[in-house]
Amino acid sequence: MYVNSGYLFNSRLPYLDKTRALRITSAGIYQLFTWPRLPTWRPKGRIDWQLVYVTAGEGHFILDGKEVTVPAGNMVLYQPKQEQHYYFLGKDSSRYWFVHFTGRYVKSILRHYGIPLDAYILHTGISHEYEELFRRMRDELTDCAWGYEENLTFLFRELLIRMHRRMHEEELHISGFVRNEMDYAKEYFRAHYNEEISIEQYAASRNMSTSWFGKSFHEAAGMSPKQYILEMRIRNAQVLLETTDGTISEISRIVGYENPMYFSRLFRKAAGLSPAKYRKVYKEHFAE
């Protein structure tokens, strides 16, 4: 078995803190290789919160008196004083991360990030980003470098953000294949937004029909591919208008438009001001 954990103040005792909004008290990983069974049973639960992320194999959780098999790609959330009864089996080559946390506003924080408090099991999917955040929290608790407690809360909030995004995708029934393809498309558009991009040719290059790609991209990104590219062009044009003395024609070409009049019409429609007016207003009210 492999275990690697970090604890606040180097203490494995549960910690309760109502003076802060949020405090991370421990984080770590367990992985079974040779041990046949790794059980945990806390009849009265803990005084803090616990999040368990099953990242390989599966876990067996006794929830409301019933045993539930939780496969990799799910998290289990325990509230304070809730019975914790679960076990992992070596034959499954199981691996799971955990984090304990406490604080005055934990419930409000979880609700803010869309984490349901009335469900034990959270269908969050498998992601190396989750593991990296758990690892970094564990390392912060181990090293205790300057500012580590503040950084712990940042890392935990980032974990909640990523959980919310993936859970929202699950609600929209976005498969792993579609999500990966749309992430690839967004990365391509970010790298080539200032070039001439044919949505039809891009879809064909990925062996997708234009209509299927457009529908899938809209489901994943909340907008069409053309709108995504347009927003990047306008956003970067705003940056150039704010930070450079380039002419409107120069900025138009930089962000991908050879015709500055066409660019100005698009910019006015998106920003509510012409490029020249936008620059003037920015310099009058925001520039030092």
Domain count, the chain: 2
In the prediction, which pLDDT does 285 show?
A: 75
**Cα distance from N-terminal residue to C-terminal residue, the chain:** 59
- Which residues, 6+ apart, have CB-to-CB distance to 94 below 8 Å? 31, 32, 38, 54, 56, 57, 58, 59, 88
Within this chain, do residues 259 and 148 fall inside the same structural domain, yes or no?
no
Within this chain, do residues 143 and 270 fall inside the same structural domain, yes or no?
no
What pLDDT band is residue 34 in, cutting at 50, 70 and 90? confident
Within this chain, do residues 90 and 15 fall inside the same structural domain, yes or no?
yes
Within this chain, do residues 90 and 228 fall inside the same structural domain, yes or no?
no
What pLDDT band is residue 172 in, cutting at 50, 70 and 90? low
Examine the pLDDT at 268 and tell me if it is beyond 60. Answer: yes
Per the model's pLDDT, the better-predicted residue between 121 and 126 turns out to be 121
Name residue 180's amino acid. Answer: N
Does an H or E element contain 78, and which?
strand 74-78
Within this chain, do residues 184 and 165 fall inside the same structural domain, yes or no?
no
Domain that holds residue 240: 177-288
The percent of residues above 90 in pLDDT, for the chain, comes to 66
pLDDT, one tens digit per residue, over 87-118 is 999 888 899 999 999 999 999 999 999 998 88
What pLDDT band is residue 287 in, cutting at 50, 70 and 90? low
Specify the CATH number for the domain of residue 99. 2.60.120.280
- Boundary-marking domain end, from 129, 144, 171: 171
Name residue 270's amino acid. Answer: A
In the prediction, which pLDDT does 175 show?
A: 66
Within this chain, do residues 152 and 166 fall inside the same structural domain, yes or no?
yes
> What mean pLDDT comes out for the span 123-130?
84
Helices (H) and strands (E) in the chain, counts: 10, 10
pLDDT, one tens digit per residue, over 127-151 is 888 999 999 999 999 999 999 999 9
| Helix/strand/coil for 19 | coil
Per the model's pLDDT, the better-predicted residue between 81 and 165 turns out to be 81
In the prediction, which pLDDT does 286 show?
A: 67
Within this chain, do residues 42 and 157 fall inside the same structural domain, yes or no?
yes
| Closest listed residue to residue 249, CA positions, set 275, 228, 230, 227 | 275
In the prediction, which pLDDT does 171 show?
A: 53
| Helix/strand/coil for 52 | strand
